[in-house]
Chain A
Amino acid sequence: MKCARCLLQLQGLRLQGLRLQGLQLQGLQLQGLQGQSARSAAQHGALLQSSSQPHMLRNTQHQVIRRFHRSPINDKNQPIPAEFIDEDDNKKDKSLVIHDDLFEQVARETKTKATFNKVMEVFIKQDVRRRGHVEFIYAALQKMPEFGVERDLAVYNKLLDVFPKEVFVPRNFIQIMFNHYPRQQECGVQLLEQMEGYGIMPNVDTKVLLIQIFGVKGHPVRKYQRILYWFPKFKHTNPYPIPKNLPEDPVDLARFSLARIADDRDAKVTVYQLPCTDITESGEEITLPHVVGIQSPSQMELLAQHNPNRPVFVEGPFPLWLRDKCVYYYVLRADPVPPEEKVEEPYDPERSLAYPLQLDLDLDRDLGDEESFDVEDLDEGAVFAMCMTSQGDQAVLNQWVSGLQQNNPILGWVPTLFRLEQGPRELQGAHKTKSDHQHRPDPQTQREEEEDEVSVEEEPRRSQEMKQ
C-alpha cells in the first residue's frame, strides 16, 4: 500500500513537470497548432526548438514516448513554480498532457458518459498497440469526476478494457515472483483504488478483465479480492444510512436530517414555515427562510414537566454532516435539573391493582449485581426540540419557539434565552438579508397572534423580548 502511494506521488510530480514543459512549449507554438492534439503539438514544438534548445527536445521526446523512466529530478530543474501556472492559466492550458487534451477535444461542449465513452473508443481505435495506455488511463481516472462518471461501474470496466489483454500475464514462476510489468499493475491497482474510494463494488466482468490482463495472481486481482472481502462487510455498518442523493429541497433535507438526529420514531416533524420569496409594495424582495422543527411526545412530556422558573435555551448552530454536505440545526434545551429539585414521584400503594410496585424492604442491591454503572450516563439537560432553518437569527428562531408553543403551552411562561453563535450565517450570506428580517418577523408574529388566542401568545413574546 505504502509503495503504491509513493508511486502515486511520483506520478503526481511527473505530471506537474510535464505541465511545466508543456507550458514552455506552448509559448513557442504557433496559434494554428492549438487545435491539434497535444502530442503532435509537443512534437512540433520540439522540432521547432530543436536548434535552439537541444536538451529540451531530448527531454520532450523521451517523455512522450516513455514517460515512466524519466527521472523526477529533471522536473525539479524546471524553474517555474507551480503556483504561477495555476494563477494565470485557463483550463485549456492546464490540460496540456496529451490525453487530457484528448478528453478536452472530444468533449468540448458536453461532458457526459457518452462523450467519455467516445474518448475511450477514440483512443482504442487510434493505435492497435494501445501505445500510452497507462498514461491514458491515469488521465481518464482524473477526468472521471468531471464527466460525472466516477461512480459508474460500466465505465471503469470499459477503462480496464483499454489495457491490452494477456500481454502482462506472467508466464513463469520467476515472473510471478518479481513484479511483472510494474507500471501496468500499478495503474490497474490505481484504477481499483479509485473505485474503492468512490465505494464502487467491482463485478464479475471486472474480475474477468483483470484476470485476462494481469493473470490470476497479479496485484490488481489481489486488490480486487481484498475489495470483495471488505466491501460487503462494511456495506451495512452504518445503522443510519444516508441516501446517495440527498434531497435537493431544503425543507426535505431538513426533514431528513432532523429525523436522523432525533432517532425517535414517534417524533413529529413540523414545517413552521415554507421558504418563499415575496415582493413588497415598495419593490423590496423578501425571502422568508424555511423553519422546520421536530419534537417527540416524550420531549413534550419533559418540557411540560420543566420548572417554569428556570430558563430554556435556544442554542446553535450545530453542524451535521451528511456525506459532503453540512447542515446546521438548533436545539431548545434546558440545564440539567439540580439534584435538590429532583422530586421522585411518591409511591402510591393504591396504584397497582395487581401487584405491589415497590418492595417495602430495607435492603439495597448488592454490589455484585450492580449493573447500572455506565460512563456514558451523564446528567445532561433535556433537549426539548430541534429545528433547522436557513437563517438562524433570533427572529426566525423566535418564530419557531412560538410555533412550538401551540403544543407546549408551558413555553408561554418559561423565559427563553437565545445563545446563538455566528457560525454558518457567514457561510449562508445572511449579511445581505440581515437588514430585511430585522423588521420582517414582526408582521409574521403579529399575524400568528391574530390567529391564536392573544392572551396566550402575548406573554411569551414579552418574556422573550425581556430576555433578549
Chain B
Amino acid sequence: MMSVNRFILSKSAQIRQLLCTVKHAGKHVVLQRNIRTHSRNLAYAKDLFLGQVNKDEVFPYPEVSLEEVEEINQLVAPVERFFSEEVDSAKIDRDAKIPAETLNGLKELGLFGVMVPEEYGGLGLTNTVYARLAEITSLDGSIAVTLAAHQAIGLKGILIAGTEAQKQKYLPRLASGEHIAAFCLTEPGSGSDAASIQTRAVLSEDGTHYLISGSKIWISNGDMADVMTVFARTEVEVDGVKKDKITAFIMERAFGGVTSGKPEDKLGIRGSNTCEVSYDSVPVPVENVIGEVGGGFKVAMNILNSGRFSMGSSSAGMIKKLIELTSEYAATRKQFNKNLSEFGMIQEKFALMAMNAFVMESMAYLTAGMMDRPGLPDCSLEAAMVKVFSSEGGWICTSEALQVLGGLGYTKNYPYERYLRDCRILPIFEGTNEILRMYIALTGMQYAGKILTGKIKEMKKGNIGVVFSMVGRKLKAAMGGSVDLGLTGKDGVVHPSLAESAKMMEQNVSLFGSTVESLLYRYGKTLVNEQLVLKRVADVLIHLYAMTAVLSRTSRSISIGLRNHDHEVLLANTFCTEAFFKNNYWMTQLEKHSPENNDANIKKIAKEVLDNRGYVCSHPLERTF
C-alpha cells in the first residue's frame, strides 16, 4: 500500500510539474483568445428566447489545446487506476464510510484541489479538465459527492470571492486535502429561502470578531470539515436603516463551539458524510468575512451557480460504465436460444443509454468550454440546464440498466441497485430540478421580456405595423416556409450530414421565439406564477441547448475525423428528431389555454387531493346499496 501511495505521490508531483509548464504555454493562448473574444456577449441560451441562434457562442465546439489533452491523459490514467483498484464502492456503501486510506489516496492524487490555482498548491485545472475528472470520480457516488462538497461548493467561496490573505491562509491546506471544506447554507426552516436563515452573526464589542450562533442541516462533509463556508444573518446599515442581510464567513472548526450531529442515514451516497452542524457563539475574526459584510447572498448565488455543470460529465461517466457492464450481460445471457441483445426492447435500452450519455457529455463539455473562456462568463443558465438534463437522464438510464438484468439487478450482488440509489440524489441536491427549471425559464423570460416589452406594448395598443409583421411571420411559418438561422448553407457551421437536424433545430428555435413572445404577451409579469407553463419553457430550452451541443460536437467530430464519428452522427440525428417532436408537443401545449392543455385539470386534481390530504376516490370495491 505504502509503495503504491508513494508511487502515486511521485506521479502526481510529476504531473504538477508538468502542468506548470503546460500552464505557461496555455496562458499565452488564453491571451490571444482574449483579444478575439472581446466583443462576445456570452448569452447563447438567453438569445434562444428571442428566437435567435447566437452561433458564434457554440460553434465550433470548444477544444482544448494539444498540451492540455496530454495533460488530461496523464492525469486521468492514475485516477482511473486508483478508482478501479483501490476503491471498494460496495464496502463504502455498506459501512457508510469512506476509509481513511481511500481518502488519503484521493488527496495524494490532488483531487481535493483540482481547480485551486497552482500558487495555492492546487492543480489549477480548467473547468473542462475538472469535468473530465468528474467523469471518473462519479464511479463512486460517495466519493464524488465528498469531493464536490469540498471543492465545488465548500472552498469555492474563498476561491471566487476571498481576499488574497484568505486564499493564502486557507487554500493550500484545502487543496492538499489536509483540511476538508463544507458549505453551510441550508437550515431547518429554509431551503432556497434566504429570508428564513436564522443563524446569526453578532459583532463582538471590541469589533474584532463575529459570534455566530445557529444550526445548519444536511451539510455534506459536516462531520469532517475543518473549514466551513457559513452563511449567517448580520445587521447592516443601509441608507441609515438597520437591516438584516446575509454574510458569508470562513469558519474553522478550531475556533471552538462547532458541534456536528449524528450522520444522516441516507438512501444513496451512503459513504458521504451528511449531518447537522450547530454553532454556539463561534468566534470568527472579522477578516474571515468573504466578500462584503451583507454581501453573502451574491456569494452564495455565485457558488451555487458555478458548481453545477460537472454533473453532466459525472452522469455520462456513470452511464458509460453501466453500458459496459450491462452489454456484457446482454451479449451472453440466452433466452429462447437467443441472446438478450437480439431483443428489440433490450436494444432500445442500450440505444437510450448511449444517446443520453452522448448528449450529456456534449452539453457538459460545451458548457465547461464556455466557462473556460476568459473573463467571467455567466454560464449559470447553461450549467443549470446541464444539471437538469443529466440528473434526470442519469436516473432513467440507471433504472434501464438495472432492468436489463431483471431480478439480478435488483440484488445487492450487483452494483446496479447502488448506482440507482446513488443516482437518486442528483435531481435533488445543488438546487432541485423543479427550482432549477424555474430559474432557467424565469431568467430567460426576464431577458427576453426586457427586450420585447416595447414591441408587445405596441401590439397591445394595436399598432398595425407590428401586428402585420407578426401575422406575416406566423403565416409564413404556417405555410411551411423554412426558417434559416444560418446553421446550414453557405456560411453554415453544421456539417451537411446533420443538415436535417439543424433545420429541425432552427424551426424549433424560431417557434420558441414566437412562443416566448406570446407568453409574455399573455401573462406579462404574472408569468412567475405559471409554474406549469414555465416548466415547459424550461424543458424546451433544455432540449434546444442539448440539440445545439450535439450538433456542434458532432460537426466537429466529422470535420476533424474523430474515430467513430459516424456513430455520433447517428446519435445526433436520432436525438434531434426525438427532441424536435418533444419540443413541438410542448410548444403546442404552450400555445393553448389552460383548459385545453390540461393544466386547469391538473391543478384541480391536485387541489382536491391536497385539500383532502389523501387520495380522494372511493375504493372500487365499495358500494352504496
A residues contacting B by CB (< 8 A) are 201, 228, 231-232, 235-236, 265, 348, 350-366, 368-369, 371
B residues 424-448 in Cβ contact with A at 8 Å = 431, 435-436, 438-439, 442-443, 445-446
Residues in A neighbouring B336, C-beta threshold 8 A: none
Residues in A neighbouring B520, C-beta threshold 8 A: 361, 363
Nearest 10 pairs between A and B by C-beta? A363-B524, A232-B624, A354-B192, A355-B439, A354-B435, A350-B297, A355-B438, A361-B449, A361-B525, A359-B525
Q: Is the CB of A366 within 8 A of B443?
A: no
Q: Is the CB of A366 within 8 A of B524?
A: yes
Q: Is the CB of B304 within 8 A of A353?
A: yes
How distant is the Cα of A232 from the Cα of B594 in the complex, in angstroms? 34
Residues in B neighbouring A355, C-beta threshold 8 A: 192, 435-436, 438-439, 442-443
How distant is the Cα of A354 from the Cα of B436 in the complex, in angstroms? 7
25 residue pairs from A and B, CB less than 8 Å apart: A236-B618, A265-B613, A350-B246, A352-B193, A353-B185, A355-B192, A355-B443, A356-B442, A358-B525, A358-B528, A359-B445, A359-B528, A360-B450, A361-B453, A361-B520, A363-B457, A363-B520, A364-B525, A364-B526, A365-B523, A365-B526, A366-B522, A368-B522, A369-B593, A371-B594
Q: Which of A201, A351, A359, A362 is close to B527, meaning CB atoms less than 8 Å apart?
A: A359
Q: Is the CB of A363 within 8 A of B245?
A: no
Q: Closest approach, in angstroms, between the C-beta of B195 and any C-beta of chain A?
A: 5
Q: Is the CB of B625 within 8 A of A231?
A: yes
Residues in A neighbouring B297, C-beta threshold 8 A: 350, 353
B residues contacting A by CB (< 8 A) are 185, 192-195, 245-246, 297, 300-301, 304, 431, 435-436, 438-439, 442-443, 445-446, 449-450, 453, 456-457, 460, 520-528, 593-594, 613, 618, 624-625
Q: Is the CB of A353 within 8 A of B301?
A: yes
How distant is the Cα of A361 from the Cα of B523 in the complex, in angstroms? 11
How distant is the Cα of A358 from the Cα of B438 in the complex, in angstroms? 11
Residues in B neighbouring A236, C-beta threshold 8 A: 618, 624
Given contacts A353-B192, A359-B527, A363-B525, 20 further A-B contacts (CB under 8 A): A231-B624, A231-B625, A232-B624, A232-B625, A236-B618, A350-B297, A351-B194, A352-B194, A353-B297, A354-B439, A359-B445, A359-B449, A360-B450, A360-B525, A362-B457, A363-B449, A364-B524, A365-B524, A366-B521, A369-B593
Q: Is the CB of A228 within 8 A of B625?
A: yes
Q: Is the CB of B442 within 8 A of A235?
A: no
Q: Is the CB of B246 within 8 A of A359?
A: no
- Report if A362-B453 is in contact (Cβ < 8 Å); known contacts: A235-B624, A351-B195, A355-B442: yes
Q: Is the CB of A356 within 8 A of B443?
A: yes
Q: Closest approach, in angstroms, between the C-beta of A27 and any C-beta of chain B?
A: 51
Q: Is the CB of A361 within 8 A of B446?
A: yes
Q: Which of A231, A350, A356, A371 is close to B446, meaning CB atoms less than 8 Å apart?
A: A356
- Among residues of B, the one whose C-beta sits closest to the C-beta of A203 is B625
- Among residues of B, the one whose C-beta sits closest to the C-beta of A368 is B522
Residues in B neighbouring A369, C-beta threshold 8 A: 522-523, 593
How distant is the Cα of A360 from the Cα of B192 in the complex, in angstroms? 20
Q: Is the CB of B449 within 8 A of A348?
A: no
Residues in B neighbouring A354, C-beta threshold 8 A: 192, 431, 435-436, 438-439
Q: Closest approach, in angstroms, between the C-beta of B450 and any C-beta of chain A?
A: 7
- Among residues of A, the one whose C-beta sits closest to the C-beta of B529 is A365
- Among residues of B, the one whose C-beta sits closest to the C-beta of A236 is B624
How distant is the Cα of A369 from the Cα of B520 in the complex, in angstroms? 11
Q: Is the CB of A350 within 8 A of B304?
A: no
Q: Is the CB of B245 within 8 A of A350?
A: yes
How distant is the Cα of A231 from the Cα of B625 in the complex, in angstroms? 8
- Among residues of A, the one whose C-beta sits closest to the C-beta of B445 is A359
Q: Is the CB of B453 within 8 A of A348?
A: no
- Among residues of A, the one whose C-beta sits closest to the C-beta of B197 is A353
Residues in B neighbouring A352, C-beta threshold 8 A: 192-194
Q: Closest approach, in angstroms, between the C-beta of A70 and any C-beta of chain B?
A: 40
- Among residues of A, the one whose C-beta sits closest to the C-beta of B613 is A265
- Among residues of B, the one whose C-beta sits closest to the C-beta of A353 is B192
Q: Closest approach, in angstroms, between the C-beta of B304 and any C-beta of chain A?
A: 7
Q: Is the CB of B194 within 8 A of A365?
A: no
How distant is the Cα of A228 from the Cα of B623 in the complex, in angstroms? 13
Q: Is the CB of A361 within 8 A of B194?
A: no
Residues in A neighbouring B300, C-beta threshold 8 A: 353
How distant is the Cα of A201 from the Cα of B624 in the complex, in angstroms? 10
Q: Closest approach, in angstroms, between the C-beta of B518 and any C-beta of chain A?
A: 9
How distant is the Cα of A365 from the Cα of B519 in the complex, in angstroms? 10
Q: Closest approach, in angstroms, between the C-beta of B268 and any C-beta of chain A?
A: 23
Q: Closest approach, in angstroms, between the C-beta of B191 and any C-beta of chain A?
A: 8
